[in-house]
Amino acid sequence: MARLFKPGADTLARLVLVGLVAGPLAAFGLAYFSQISPWIRGTDVTVEQPVPFSHKHHVAEVGLDCRFCHATVETNRFAGIPTSHVCMTCHSQLFTTAGMLAPVRDSLAHDVPLHWVRVNNLPGYVYFDHSAHITHGIGCVNCHGTVAQMPLTRQAAPLTMRWCLDCHRDPGPHVSPPGKVFDTTFRPHNSPGAARRLLAVWRIHTRGLTDCSTCHR
């Protein structure tokens, strides 16, 4: 009697059935873990810039305040990027012939802005206001990490919706006391009592902070 199926057909059928179940699950798992991976989120990844600017040198060693370069961080949605003229305020006197600073000198000489690559990059559908955070006690280190220890700037926080919402639901532990907002060595870890006091000092009300329109306008 002739066989309808080859001897390996049963095994092949079993593999196909397993693949039909396991394939979608594996695809879902791969997609999920790729989205939470540091590489996809951009955390701890340095990008090539026109000039290898070191926050560690300028902030920790030289002692520059964040606002010297990011002049609009307290008053504007955008923190601001210093112009080449601001850079040359110092570098017309210091390291005047350094090769790595040639792009800055050329930028000033030809009045062409440097094209910096954004490190902390939010999607276009997300509204973020630096001044709203800074003027309510959310210090730079909360989002940018210990930037004063970064020879090359990298993204420190995941900047995901969940990460933002965790802070919006309970901002108290992350609020800095007055005078520490721009302190790059200070990382707030407030107790419940201290958190309540600081929320009152900065007049922070959590009502409405998790509304969709807060971040999506």
- Return the domain boundaries, the chain: 123-215
177-212 CB burial, b ≥16 within 10 A, e <16: beebbbbbeeebebeeeebeebbeebebeeeebeee
pLDDT, one tens digit for every residue, the chain (217 residues): 455 556 666 676 667 777 777 777 666 556 555 555 665 667 888 889 999 999 999 999 999 999 999 999 999 999 999 999 999 999 999 999 999 999 999 999 999 999 999 999 999 999 999 999 999 999 999 999 999 999 999 999 999 999 999 999 999 999 999 999 999 999 999 999 999 999 999 999 999 999 999 999 8
d(CA 175, CA 202): 9
